[in-house]
Amino acid sequence: MPPRQRVQVDLKRELAQPWQAGGEIVLICGSGKAASAQPLAGRLSPPAANAEEERARRAEHFALARRINFARKEEVNTRTLALPPEQIELLERFALADAGAVWLREVADDTLRLFNKGYLEYDHALWRRALKSGRMPNLSQLLTGRLSEAGQFAEDAEVFKFGAYAGTGALAQPGGIGLGDAGLRCHFPSSDELVDPHAILSHEFGHTRYGDPDSSSSLLGEARTVELYENPVRVRNGYEPRTLYFERTNQGKLEPGKGSLLDRLKILEREKGISISDQSKVDRYHCDCPDPLPVILDCEVRQRPGGDGIIDPYFEQSCKLNWKPDAIDALPGVKELLPRLK
Protein backbone atom coordinates (compact mmCIF):
# COMPACT_ATOMS: atom_id res chain seq x y z
CA MET A 1 0.00 0.00 0.00
CA PRO A 2 1.18 3.58 -0.52
CA PRO A 3 2.60 5.36 2.54
CA ARG A 4 -0.09 6.80 4.78
CA GLN A 5 1.55 10.22 4.85
CA ARG A 6 3.38 12.21 2.20
CA VAL A 7 7.05 12.92 2.70
CA GLN A 8 8.67 16.04 1.27
CA VAL A 9 10.46 15.11 -1.94
CA ASP A 10 14.25 15.14 -1.85
CA LEU A 11 14.74 15.63 -5.58
CA LYS A 12 18.54 15.49 -5.54
CA ARG A 13 18.45 12.13 -3.78
CA GLU A 14 15.73 10.78 -6.06
CA LEU A 15 17.58 11.79 -9.22
CA ALA A 16 20.64 9.89 -7.96
CA GLN A 17 18.63 6.62 -7.90
CA PRO A 18 18.72 4.18 -10.86
CA TRP A 19 14.94 4.59 -11.44
CA GLN A 20 12.42 7.24 -10.39
CA ALA A 21 8.90 5.88 -11.01
CA GLY A 22 8.67 3.53 -8.02
CA GLY A 23 7.00 0.14 -7.91
CA GLU A 24 4.51 -1.10 -10.48
CA ILE A 25 0.90 -0.22 -9.62
CA VAL A 26 -1.35 -3.29 -9.34
CA LEU A 27 -4.98 -3.98 -8.47
CA ILE A 28 -5.95 -6.53 -5.83
CA CYS A 29 -9.22 -7.79 -4.34
CA GLY A 30 -10.31 -6.36 -1.04
CA SER A 31 -12.02 -8.35 1.70
CA GLY A 32 -15.25 -10.21 1.02
CA LYS A 33 -16.41 -12.80 -1.46
CA ALA A 34 -14.57 -12.77 -4.77
CA ALA A 35 -17.70 -11.93 -6.75
CA SER A 36 -18.36 -8.80 -4.66
CA ALA A 37 -14.85 -7.85 -3.51
CA GLN A 38 -13.95 -4.21 -3.91
CA PRO A 39 -10.72 -3.34 -5.71
CA LEU A 40 -7.71 -1.90 -3.93
CA ALA A 41 -4.50 -0.56 -5.42
CA GLY A 42 -0.89 -0.87 -4.31
CA ARG A 43 2.63 -1.18 -5.67
CA LEU A 44 4.93 -4.15 -6.16
CA SER A 45 8.24 -3.70 -4.37
CA PRO A 46 10.78 -4.83 -7.03
CA PRO A 47 12.39 -1.97 -8.98
CA ALA A 48 12.13 -1.80 -12.74
CA ALA A 49 14.22 -4.47 -14.45
CA ASN A 50 15.03 -2.30 -17.44
CA ALA A 51 14.25 1.00 -19.17
CA GLU A 52 11.18 -0.47 -20.88
CA GLU A 53 9.55 -1.36 -17.55
CA GLU A 54 10.46 2.03 -16.10
CA ARG A 55 8.92 3.84 -19.07
CA ALA A 56 5.71 1.78 -18.70
CA ARG A 57 5.42 2.83 -15.05
CA ARG A 58 5.96 6.47 -15.93
CA ALA A 59 3.37 6.20 -18.71
CA GLU A 60 0.82 4.76 -16.25
CA HIS A 61 1.41 7.67 -13.88
CA PHE A 62 0.72 10.12 -16.69
CA ALA A 63 -2.39 8.17 -17.71
CA LEU A 64 -3.63 8.39 -14.11
CA ALA A 65 -2.91 12.13 -14.03
CA ARG A 66 -4.78 12.65 -17.28
CA ARG A 67 -7.76 10.72 -15.91
CA ILE A 68 -7.86 12.23 -12.41
CA ASN A 69 -5.73 15.37 -12.18
CA PHE A 70 -6.50 17.45 -15.29
CA ALA A 71 -8.88 20.23 -14.33
CA ARG A 72 -11.95 21.07 -16.35
CA LYS A 73 -12.85 24.67 -17.14
CA GLU A 74 -13.60 26.64 -13.94
CA GLU A 75 -13.12 23.51 -11.81
CA VAL A 76 -10.41 25.03 -9.58
CA ASN A 77 -11.62 28.64 -9.83
CA THR A 78 -13.47 30.81 -12.32
CA ARG A 79 -10.22 31.57 -14.20
CA THR A 80 -9.22 27.94 -14.70
CA LEU A 81 -9.13 26.82 -18.34
CA ALA A 82 -8.89 23.31 -19.72
CA LEU A 83 -5.34 22.38 -20.67
CA PRO A 84 -4.66 22.96 -24.39
CA PRO A 85 -3.02 20.12 -26.39
CA GLU A 86 0.45 21.67 -26.34
CA GLN A 87 0.42 21.87 -22.53
CA ILE A 88 -0.75 18.27 -22.26
CA GLU A 89 2.13 17.25 -24.54
CA LEU A 90 4.55 19.18 -22.31
CA LEU A 91 3.24 17.42 -19.21
CA GLU A 92 3.57 14.04 -20.93
CA ARG A 93 7.19 14.71 -21.87
CA PHE A 94 7.80 15.85 -18.30
CA ALA A 95 6.16 12.73 -16.85
CA LEU A 96 8.41 10.49 -18.96
CA ALA A 97 11.57 12.37 -17.93
CA ASP A 98 13.47 11.62 -14.70
CA ALA A 99 12.40 14.60 -12.57
CA GLY A 100 8.83 14.43 -13.82
CA ALA A 101 8.73 10.72 -12.93
CA VAL A 102 9.50 11.61 -9.31
CA TRP A 103 6.75 14.23 -9.07
CA LEU A 104 4.11 12.25 -10.98
CA ARG A 105 4.86 9.25 -8.76
CA GLU A 106 3.85 11.38 -5.76
CA VAL A 107 0.66 12.52 -7.54
CA ALA A 108 -0.11 8.88 -8.36
CA ASP A 109 0.40 7.83 -4.74
CA ASP A 110 -2.22 10.42 -3.76
CA THR A 111 -4.55 8.76 -6.27
CA LEU A 112 -3.89 5.35 -4.71
CA ARG A 113 -4.71 6.72 -1.27
CA LEU A 114 -7.95 8.27 -2.53
CA PHE A 115 -8.94 5.09 -4.37
CA ASN A 116 -8.33 2.85 -1.37
CA LYS A 117 -10.55 5.10 0.76
CA GLY A 118 -13.37 4.63 -1.74
CA TYR A 119 -13.26 8.25 -2.90
CA LEU A 120 -12.78 7.58 -6.64
CA GLU A 121 -15.46 6.18 -8.91
CA TYR A 122 -14.54 3.11 -10.97
CA ASP A 123 -16.09 1.03 -13.75
CA HIS A 124 -17.92 -1.76 -11.90
CA ALA A 125 -18.65 -3.73 -15.06
CA LEU A 126 -14.97 -3.72 -16.05
CA TRP A 127 -14.00 -4.85 -12.54
CA ARG A 128 -16.48 -7.76 -12.64
CA ARG A 129 -15.09 -8.85 -16.00
CA ALA A 130 -11.55 -8.64 -14.59
CA LEU A 131 -12.52 -10.83 -11.62
CA LYS A 132 -14.09 -13.38 -13.93
CA SER A 133 -11.16 -13.50 -16.38
CA GLY A 134 -8.37 -13.07 -13.83
CA ARG A 135 -6.76 -10.39 -16.01
CA MET A 136 -6.45 -7.11 -14.15
CA PRO A 137 -6.65 -3.80 -16.06
CA ASN A 138 -4.45 -0.82 -15.32
CA LEU A 139 -5.82 1.46 -12.63
CA SER A 140 -6.01 4.28 -15.18
CA GLN A 141 -8.37 2.11 -17.25
CA LEU A 142 -10.58 1.20 -14.30
CA LEU A 143 -11.14 4.74 -12.99
CA THR A 144 -13.85 6.94 -14.50
CA GLY A 145 -12.13 10.20 -13.58
CA ARG A 146 -14.84 11.27 -11.14
CA LEU A 147 -15.16 11.28 -7.37
CA SER A 148 -17.42 8.64 -5.89
CA GLU A 149 -20.41 9.69 -3.83
CA ALA A 150 -18.31 9.18 -0.68
CA GLY A 151 -15.51 11.26 -2.18
CA GLN A 152 -17.82 14.14 -3.03
CA PHE A 153 -18.69 14.58 0.65
CA ALA A 154 -15.31 13.72 2.19
CA GLU A 155 -13.31 16.61 3.63
CA ASP A 156 -10.02 14.83 3.01
CA ALA A 157 -10.66 14.06 -0.68
CA GLU A 158 -8.00 16.49 -1.92
CA VAL A 159 -7.32 15.93 -5.63
CA PHE A 160 -4.21 17.59 -7.08
CA LYS A 161 -5.08 19.50 -10.25
CA PHE A 162 -3.26 20.69 -13.35
CA GLY A 163 -5.06 23.53 -15.11
CA ALA A 164 -4.48 26.34 -17.55
CA TYR A 165 -4.97 30.09 -17.26
CA ALA A 166 -4.83 33.00 -19.67
CA GLY A 167 -1.25 34.23 -19.91
CA THR A 168 2.33 33.01 -19.94
CA GLY A 169 4.47 31.06 -17.50
CA ALA A 170 3.43 28.75 -14.68
CA LEU A 171 2.27 29.11 -11.08
CA ALA A 172 1.60 26.78 -8.19
CA GLN A 173 -0.51 26.36 -5.08
CA PRO A 174 -0.24 23.53 -2.53
CA GLY A 175 -2.91 21.54 -4.37
CA GLY A 176 -2.20 22.26 -8.01
CA ILE A 177 -0.17 23.79 -10.83
CA GLY A 178 -1.41 26.25 -13.44
CA LEU A 179 0.12 26.64 -16.90
CA GLY A 180 -0.31 29.76 -19.01
CA ASP A 181 -2.09 29.05 -22.27
CA ALA A 182 0.48 31.23 -24.07
CA GLY A 183 3.31 28.91 -23.01
CA LEU A 184 6.70 29.62 -21.49
CA ARG A 185 9.28 32.18 -22.59
CA CYS A 186 12.51 30.94 -24.16
CA HIS A 187 14.63 33.22 -21.95
CA PHE A 188 14.20 34.74 -18.50
CA PRO A 189 13.64 38.46 -19.19
CA SER A 190 15.85 39.63 -16.33
CA SER A 191 18.99 37.63 -17.04
CA ASP A 192 18.54 36.31 -20.59
CA GLU A 193 19.26 32.82 -19.25
CA LEU A 194 17.66 30.01 -21.23
CA VAL A 195 14.43 28.58 -19.80
CA ASP A 196 14.22 24.81 -19.26
CA PRO A 197 10.46 24.00 -19.27
CA HIS A 198 10.98 20.81 -17.23
CA ALA A 199 12.94 22.73 -14.61
CA ILE A 200 10.12 25.30 -14.44
CA LEU A 201 7.59 22.54 -13.80
CA SER A 202 9.86 21.05 -11.14
CA HIS A 203 10.22 24.51 -9.55
CA GLU A 204 6.44 24.83 -9.36
CA PHE A 205 6.12 21.33 -7.89
CA GLY A 206 8.53 22.52 -5.20
CA HIS A 207 5.84 25.00 -4.10
CA THR A 208 3.16 22.31 -3.84
CA ARG A 209 2.33 19.91 -1.02
CA TYR A 210 4.89 17.47 -2.42
CA GLY A 211 7.69 19.98 -1.78
CA ASP A 212 7.38 22.94 0.58
CA PRO A 213 3.97 24.67 0.31
CA ASP A 214 5.24 27.71 2.25
CA SER A 215 8.28 28.27 0.05
CA SER A 216 6.64 30.89 -2.17
CA SER A 217 5.86 33.18 0.76
CA SER A 218 9.41 34.40 1.31
CA LEU A 219 12.53 35.39 -0.52
CA LEU A 220 14.52 32.58 1.07
CA GLY A 221 11.85 30.06 0.07
CA GLU A 222 12.07 31.05 -3.58
CA ALA A 223 15.85 30.86 -3.54
CA ARG A 224 15.77 27.42 -1.94
CA THR A 225 13.23 26.25 -4.51
CA VAL A 226 15.62 27.25 -7.29
CA GLU A 227 18.46 25.47 -5.50
CA LEU A 228 16.61 22.27 -4.52
CA TYR A 229 14.07 21.72 -7.29
CA GLU A 230 14.96 23.76 -10.37
CA ASN A 231 18.74 23.73 -10.77
CA PRO A 232 19.13 19.94 -10.35
CA VAL A 233 16.84 19.52 -13.35
CA ARG A 234 18.60 22.23 -15.36
CA VAL A 235 21.98 20.59 -14.78
CA ARG A 236 20.61 17.13 -15.62
CA ASN A 237 19.20 18.48 -18.88
CA GLY A 238 22.40 20.23 -19.89
CA TYR A 239 21.51 23.81 -18.86
CA GLU A 240 23.63 26.12 -16.77
CA PRO A 241 22.31 26.53 -13.19
CA ARG A 242 19.97 29.47 -12.83
CA THR A 243 21.70 32.29 -10.97
CA LEU A 244 19.02 34.97 -10.81
CA TYR A 245 15.45 34.93 -9.62
CA PHE A 246 13.56 38.05 -10.62
CA GLU A 247 9.99 39.10 -9.98
CA ARG A 248 8.31 42.18 -11.41
CA THR A 249 5.50 43.62 -9.35
CA ASN A 250 3.83 46.27 -11.53
CA GLN A 251 2.17 47.68 -8.44
CA GLY A 252 0.60 50.72 -10.08
CA LYS A 253 0.41 52.68 -6.82
CA LEU A 254 2.71 54.63 -4.54
CA GLU A 255 2.45 52.42 -1.44
CA PRO A 256 3.56 48.80 -1.79
CA GLY A 257 0.85 46.37 -0.81
CA LYS A 258 0.91 42.99 0.87
CA GLY A 259 4.01 41.00 0.00
CA SER A 260 6.01 44.07 -0.99
CA LEU A 261 9.78 44.04 -1.08
CA LEU A 262 10.10 45.79 2.29
CA ASP A 263 7.65 43.32 3.86
CA ARG A 264 9.74 40.43 2.56
CA LEU A 265 12.93 41.98 3.89
CA LYS A 266 11.41 42.32 7.35
CA ILE A 267 10.24 38.70 7.27
CA LEU A 268 13.65 37.60 6.10
CA GLU A 269 15.41 39.41 8.93
CA ARG A 270 13.08 37.86 11.51
CA GLU A 271 13.64 34.28 10.30
CA LYS A 272 15.65 32.33 12.83
CA GLY A 273 19.26 31.83 11.83
CA ILE A 274 19.00 34.10 8.79
CA SER A 275 21.00 37.30 8.48
CA ILE A 276 20.94 39.64 5.55
CA SER A 277 24.72 39.92 5.67
CA ASP A 278 25.10 36.18 4.90
CA GLN A 279 22.76 35.28 2.06
CA SER A 280 24.71 32.68 0.10
CA LYS A 281 21.48 30.93 -0.90
CA VAL A 282 19.67 34.16 -1.74
CA ASP A 283 22.37 36.36 -3.22
CA ARG A 284 21.62 37.17 -6.88
CA TYR A 285 18.36 35.22 -6.85
CA HIS A 286 15.65 37.86 -6.46
CA CYS A 287 15.00 41.48 -7.27
CA ASP A 288 11.61 43.11 -7.07
CA CYS A 289 10.84 46.30 -8.98
CA PRO A 290 8.14 47.95 -11.06
CA ASP A 291 8.74 47.96 -14.81
CA PRO A 292 10.32 48.95 -17.13
CA LEU A 293 12.95 46.28 -16.61
CA PRO A 294 16.03 47.86 -15.01
CA VAL A 295 19.64 46.81 -15.26
CA ILE A 296 20.55 44.01 -12.85
CA LEU A 297 24.08 43.22 -11.70
CA ASP A 298 24.73 40.85 -8.79
CA CYS A 299 21.19 41.45 -7.59
CA GLU A 300 21.69 45.19 -7.59
CA VAL A 301 19.05 47.10 -9.50
CA ARG A 302 20.71 50.40 -10.19
CA GLN A 303 18.93 53.72 -10.31
CA ARG A 304 19.33 55.87 -13.37
CA PRO A 305 20.95 59.12 -12.14
CA GLY A 306 18.75 62.17 -12.24
CA GLY A 307 19.64 65.84 -12.08
CA ASP A 308 20.47 65.61 -8.39
CA GLY A 309 21.74 62.04 -8.66
CA ILE A 310 18.69 60.60 -6.88
CA ILE A 311 15.50 59.13 -8.36
CA ASP A 312 12.62 58.02 -6.16
CA PRO A 313 11.95 54.44 -7.32
CA TYR A 314 8.23 54.54 -6.58
CA PHE A 315 7.72 57.60 -8.75
CA GLU A 316 10.19 56.96 -11.56
CA GLN A 317 9.70 53.19 -11.88
CA SER A 318 13.27 52.37 -11.05
CA CYS A 319 14.62 50.85 -7.86
CA LYS A 320 17.76 49.86 -6.06
CA LEU A 321 18.38 46.77 -3.99
CA ASN A 322 21.61 45.20 -2.80
CA TRP A 323 21.76 42.19 -0.47
CA LYS A 324 25.02 43.23 1.20
CA PRO A 325 23.86 45.43 4.17
CA ASP A 326 23.88 43.97 7.68
CA ALA A 327 20.46 45.33 8.63
CA ILE A 328 17.29 46.66 7.12
CA ASP A 329 18.09 50.22 8.12
CA ALA A 330 21.30 50.06 6.11
CA LEU A 331 19.48 49.51 2.83
CA PRO A 332 19.71 52.60 0.60
CA GLY A 333 16.66 54.78 0.91
CA VAL A 334 14.72 52.60 3.38
CA LYS A 335 14.57 55.22 6.14
CA GLU A 336 13.20 57.76 3.68
CA LEU A 337 10.54 55.27 2.52
CA LEU A 338 9.32 54.25 5.98
CA PRO A 339 7.05 57.28 6.64
CA ARG A 340 5.32 56.73 3.32
CA LEU A 341 4.80 53.02 4.05
CA LYS A 342 2.92 53.55 7.30
Res 294: pLDDT: 39
Residue 237 CA to residue 217 CA, distance in Å, equals 28
The Cα 261–Cα 128 span in angstroms is 59
pLDDT at position 5 is: 86
User: Strand pairing partners for 143?
Assistant: 122
Helix (H) or strand (E) holding 29: strand 25-29
- Closest CA relative to residue 322, chosen from 265, 267, 273, 266: 265
Q: What is the mean pLDDT of each run of 10 residues along the chain (342 residues)?
A: 89 96 93 75 95 98 98 91 94 97 98 96 95 93 96 94 92 94 82 88 96 79 86 94 61 40 55 48 46 39 43 38 36 38 31
**According to the model, what pLDDT value does residue 31 have?**
72
Confirm if 148 and 121 have CB atoms less than 8 A apart: yes
Q: How many CA atoms lie within 13 A of 180 on its CB side?
A: 11
Using a 10 angstrom Cβ sphere, with 0-12 exposed, 13-18 middle and 19 or more buried, the burial of residue 298 is exposed
Output the pLDDT for position 265: 54
| Residue-level pLDDT at 121 | 97
Burial class (CB in 10 A: 0-12, 13-18, 19+), 254: exposed
What was the pLDDT predicted at 307? Answer: 46
The structure's pTM equals 0.75
The pLDDT of residue 298: 37
